[in-house]
Amino acid sequence: MEKEDSSVFINDEGARYRLEEMISNEKVHGIVRGLADDISNRYREAGSVHLVGLLKGSFVFMADLIRAISIPVTVDFMAVTSYLGTESTGEVKILKELNEPIHGLNVVIVEDIIDTGLTLSKTLALLETRAPADLKVCTLLDKIDRRKTPIDIEFNGIVIPDEFIVGYGIDYQQRHRELDRIDRVKFL
Ligand SMILES: O=P(O)(O)OC[C@H]1O[C@H](OP(=O)(O)OP(=O)(O)O)[C@H](O)[C@@H]1O
Ligand code: HPA
Ligand SMILES: [Mg+2]
Protein backbone atom coordinates (compact mmCIF):
# COMPACT_ATOMS: atom_id res chain seq x y z
CA MET A 1 0.00 0.00 0.00
CA GLU A 2 2.76 2.42 0.98
CA LYS A 3 4.76 1.48 -2.11
CA GLU A 4 1.71 2.01 -4.32
CA ASP A 5 1.11 5.48 -2.82
CA SER A 6 4.72 6.51 -3.40
CA SER A 7 4.30 6.05 -7.18
CA VAL A 8 1.34 8.45 -7.35
CA PHE A 9 2.14 12.04 -8.34
CA ILE A 10 0.03 15.17 -8.07
CA ASN A 11 0.15 17.81 -10.80
CA ASP A 12 0.01 21.61 -10.40
CA GLU A 13 -3.80 21.49 -10.64
CA GLY A 14 -4.11 18.79 -7.96
CA ALA A 15 -4.91 15.86 -10.31
CA ARG A 16 -3.35 12.46 -9.47
CA TYR A 17 -1.31 10.48 -11.98
CA ARG A 18 1.05 7.54 -12.27
CA LEU A 19 3.96 6.84 -14.58
CA GLU A 20 3.98 3.62 -16.60
CA GLU A 21 6.98 2.37 -18.56
CA MET A 22 6.75 2.78 -22.34
CA ILE A 23 10.39 2.37 -23.44
CA SER A 24 12.92 0.67 -21.17
CA ASN A 25 16.34 2.05 -20.29
CA GLU A 26 18.02 -0.65 -22.42
CA LYS A 27 15.84 0.10 -25.43
CA VAL A 28 16.40 3.88 -25.16
CA HIS A 29 20.16 3.38 -25.05
CA GLY A 30 20.02 0.95 -28.00
CA ILE A 31 18.12 3.54 -30.06
CA VAL A 32 20.66 6.23 -29.14
CA ARG A 33 23.57 3.99 -30.22
CA GLY A 34 21.83 3.30 -33.54
CA LEU A 35 21.32 7.02 -34.20
CA ALA A 36 24.94 7.76 -33.25
CA ASP A 37 26.15 5.10 -35.72
CA ASP A 38 23.96 6.53 -38.51
CA ILE A 39 25.21 10.08 -37.88
CA SER A 40 28.85 8.92 -37.69
CA ASN A 41 28.55 6.98 -40.95
CA ARG A 42 26.82 9.85 -42.74
CA TYR A 43 29.45 12.49 -41.84
CA ARG A 44 32.61 10.35 -41.62
CA GLU A 45 33.85 11.44 -45.03
CA ALA A 46 33.07 15.10 -44.30
CA GLY A 47 35.23 14.71 -41.17
CA SER A 48 32.94 16.22 -38.53
CA VAL A 49 29.40 17.08 -37.52
CA HIS A 50 27.97 20.03 -35.56
CA LEU A 51 25.01 19.15 -33.32
CA VAL A 52 22.51 21.84 -32.28
CA GLY A 53 20.34 20.76 -29.34
CA LEU A 54 17.01 22.45 -28.62
CA LEU A 55 16.67 23.15 -24.91
CA LYS A 56 15.59 22.04 -22.51
CA GLY A 57 14.31 18.65 -23.64
CA SER A 58 17.34 17.56 -25.67
CA PHE A 59 20.07 17.85 -23.05
CA VAL A 60 20.03 14.25 -21.72
CA PHE A 61 19.75 12.73 -25.19
CA MET A 62 22.54 15.02 -26.44
CA ALA A 63 24.87 13.97 -23.61
CA ASP A 64 24.55 10.29 -24.54
CA LEU A 65 24.49 10.88 -28.30
CA ILE A 66 27.82 12.74 -28.48
CA ARG A 67 29.56 10.03 -26.44
CA ALA A 68 28.34 7.35 -28.86
CA ILE A 69 29.32 9.24 -32.05
CA SER A 70 32.63 7.97 -33.44
CA ILE A 71 33.74 11.01 -35.51
CA PRO A 72 34.77 14.53 -34.36
CA VAL A 73 31.70 16.35 -33.05
CA THR A 74 30.98 19.89 -31.86
CA VAL A 75 27.92 20.96 -29.88
CA ASP A 76 25.82 24.06 -29.40
CA PHE A 77 22.39 24.69 -27.90
CA MET A 78 19.54 27.05 -28.53
CA ALA A 79 16.16 27.56 -26.90
CA VAL A 80 13.20 28.68 -28.97
CA THR A 81 9.46 28.91 -28.54
CA SER A 82 6.72 29.52 -31.06
CA TYR A 83 4.05 29.53 -28.40
CA LEU A 84 2.47 32.27 -26.33
CA GLY A 85 0.58 30.29 -23.68
CA THR A 86 -0.93 27.41 -25.64
CA GLU A 87 -1.26 29.27 -28.96
CA SER A 88 1.35 29.27 -31.71
CA THR A 89 2.28 32.84 -32.63
CA GLY A 90 3.45 31.74 -36.08
CA GLU A 91 6.97 32.99 -35.38
CA VAL A 92 9.88 31.58 -33.39
CA LYS A 93 11.10 33.60 -30.48
CA ILE A 94 14.73 32.90 -29.55
CA LEU A 95 15.06 32.45 -25.78
CA LYS A 96 18.73 31.46 -26.03
CA GLU A 97 20.78 32.15 -29.13
CA LEU A 98 23.49 29.79 -30.46
CA ASN A 99 26.97 30.56 -29.12
CA GLU A 100 28.70 30.05 -32.48
CA PRO A 101 27.82 30.73 -36.15
CA ILE A 102 26.80 27.69 -38.24
CA HIS A 103 27.83 29.08 -41.64
CA GLY A 104 29.45 26.30 -43.72
CA LEU A 105 28.97 23.58 -41.09
CA ASN A 106 27.27 20.17 -41.35
CA VAL A 107 24.51 20.81 -38.82
CA VAL A 108 22.18 18.28 -37.22
CA ILE A 109 19.41 19.67 -35.02
CA VAL A 110 18.85 17.36 -32.04
CA GLU A 111 15.34 17.07 -30.59
CA ASP A 112 14.00 14.82 -27.86
CA ILE A 113 10.51 14.61 -29.38
CA ILE A 114 8.73 15.97 -32.45
CA ASP A 115 5.02 16.42 -31.86
CA THR A 116 3.13 19.03 -33.96
CA GLY A 117 6.45 19.96 -35.62
CA LEU A 118 5.59 23.68 -35.42
CA THR A 119 8.58 24.79 -33.35
CA LEU A 120 11.03 22.75 -35.40
CA SER A 121 9.72 23.88 -38.80
CA LYS A 122 10.18 27.52 -37.79
CA THR A 123 13.62 26.78 -36.33
CA LEU A 124 14.72 25.01 -39.52
CA ALA A 125 13.63 28.01 -41.62
CA LEU A 126 15.55 30.35 -39.32
CA LEU A 127 18.77 28.29 -39.34
CA GLU A 128 18.58 27.80 -43.12
CA THR A 129 19.04 31.59 -43.52
CA ARG A 130 22.46 31.26 -41.83
CA ALA A 131 23.81 29.15 -44.73
CA PRO A 132 25.01 25.92 -43.10
CA ALA A 133 26.65 23.45 -45.53
CA ASP A 134 23.99 20.92 -44.55
CA LEU A 135 21.00 21.01 -42.17
CA LYS A 136 19.34 17.81 -40.97
CA VAL A 137 17.10 16.71 -38.08
CA CYS A 138 17.64 13.99 -35.49
CA THR A 139 14.94 13.08 -32.98
CA LEU A 140 14.75 10.37 -30.36
CA LEU A 141 10.93 10.19 -30.45
CA ASP A 142 8.48 10.89 -33.28
CA LYS A 143 4.83 11.39 -32.26
CA ILE A 144 3.77 11.41 -35.89
CA ASP A 145 -0.01 11.24 -35.34
CA ARG A 146 0.07 14.77 -33.90
CA ARG A 147 1.93 16.42 -36.78
CA LYS A 148 0.52 19.74 -38.06
CA THR A 149 3.33 20.51 -40.47
CA PRO A 150 5.55 18.01 -42.33
CA ILE A 151 9.10 17.56 -41.04
CA ASP A 152 11.78 15.70 -42.94
CA ILE A 153 13.52 13.62 -40.24
CA GLU A 154 16.87 12.26 -41.43
CA PHE A 155 17.75 10.46 -38.17
CA ASN A 156 14.59 9.13 -36.51
CA GLY A 157 14.79 7.10 -33.28
CA ILE A 158 11.34 5.59 -32.77
CA VAL A 159 7.73 6.43 -33.64
CA ILE A 160 5.50 6.53 -30.54
CA PRO A 161 1.70 6.64 -30.18
CA ASP A 162 -0.19 9.81 -29.26
CA GLU A 163 0.29 9.54 -25.50
CA PHE A 164 1.84 12.08 -23.15
CA ILE A 165 5.31 10.87 -22.17
CA VAL A 166 8.10 11.90 -19.80
CA GLY A 167 11.68 10.95 -18.97
CA TYR A 168 15.16 11.08 -20.50
CA GLY A 169 15.05 14.90 -20.49
CA ILE A 170 11.34 15.24 -21.29
CA ASP A 171 9.07 16.82 -18.70
CA TYR A 172 5.52 17.11 -17.48
CA GLN A 173 5.16 20.50 -15.76
CA GLN A 174 9.00 20.59 -15.56
CA ARG A 175 9.16 17.27 -13.66
CA HIS A 176 10.50 13.77 -14.42
CA ARG A 177 13.33 14.84 -16.76
CA GLU A 178 15.73 12.73 -14.64
CA LEU A 179 14.06 9.38 -15.44
CA ASP A 180 16.42 7.11 -17.39
CA ARG A 181 13.61 5.61 -19.54
CA ILE A 182 10.45 6.84 -21.28
CA ASP A 183 7.19 6.59 -19.33
CA ARG A 184 3.60 7.41 -20.23
CA VAL A 185 1.56 9.67 -17.92
CA LYS A 186 -1.63 7.94 -16.73
CA PHE A 187 -4.22 10.07 -14.95
CA LEU A 188 -6.09 8.34 -12.13
O1 LIG B 1 6.62 19.45 -32.17
P2 LIG B 1 6.16 20.43 -31.14
O3 LIG B 1 4.65 20.41 -30.97
O4 LIG B 1 6.68 21.83 -31.37
O5 LIG B 1 6.65 19.94 -29.71
C6 LIG B 1 7.92 19.37 -29.46
C7 LIG B 1 8.70 20.24 -28.54
O8 LIG B 1 7.99 20.38 -27.30
C9 LIG B 1 8.85 20.05 -26.21
O10 LIG B 1 9.58 21.16 -25.78
P11 LIG B 1 8.94 22.28 -24.86
O12 LIG B 1 8.53 23.44 -25.73
O13 LIG B 1 7.88 21.68 -23.99
O14 LIG B 1 10.13 22.78 -23.98
P15 LIG B 1 11.31 21.98 -23.25
O16 LIG B 1 12.14 21.33 -24.33
O17 LIG B 1 12.03 23.07 -22.54
O18 LIG B 1 10.69 20.97 -22.33
C19 LIG B 1 9.84 19.06 -26.82
O20 LIG B 1 11.06 19.08 -26.09
C21 LIG B 1 10.03 19.57 -28.21
O22 LIG B 1 11.06 20.55 -28.25
O1 HPA C 1 4.47 13.80 -24.88
C2 HPA C 1 5.07 14.84 -24.53
N3 HPA C 1 5.60 14.98 -23.28
C4 HPA C 1 6.25 16.10 -22.87
N5 HPA C 1 6.42 17.16 -23.66
C6 HPA C 1 5.94 17.09 -24.91
N7 HPA C 1 5.99 18.02 -25.90
C8 HPA C 1 5.40 17.50 -26.95
N9 HPA C 1 4.93 16.24 -26.68
C10 HPA C 1 5.27 15.96 -25.40
MG1 LIG D 1 11.91 20.94 -26.32
Task: Record the pTM.
Answer: 0.94
- Assess if residue 3 is contained within a domain: no
- How many A from CA of 127 to the centre of ligand 3? 16
Position 10 in a domain? no
- Residue 171 falls inside a structural domain: no
For residue 84, pLDDT over 70 is answered with no
Question: Can 64 be counted among the known catalytic residues?
Answer: no
> How much distance in Å is there from the Cα of 7 to the middle of ligand 2?
20
Residue 180 covered by a domain: yes
Shortest-distance Cα residue to atom 8 of ligand 2: 115
Any domain includes 6: no
- Ligand index nearest the alpha carbon of residue 160: 2
In tens, the pLDDT along 87-124 reads 666 677 889 999 999 999 999 999 999 999 988 998 99
**Domain with 67 in it: what CATH number?**
3.40.50.2020
Domain interval for residue 145:
23-161+176-187
Give one DSSP letter per residue of the chain, joined into a string.
Answer: -HHHHHTEEE-TTS-EEEEEEEE-HHHHHHHHHHHHHHHHHHHTTT--EEEEEETTTTHHHHHHHHHH--S-EEEEEEEEEEEETTEEEEEEEEEE--SS--TT-EEEEEEEEESS-HHHHHHHHHHHTT--SEEEEEEEEE-GGG-SS----SEEEEE--S--EEBTTB-BTTB-TT-SSEEEEEE-
In a domain, 118, yes or no: yes
Structural domain includes residue 55: yes
Catalytic residue among 37, 38, 76, 115: 115
Domain count within the chain:
1
Within-domain flag for 170? no
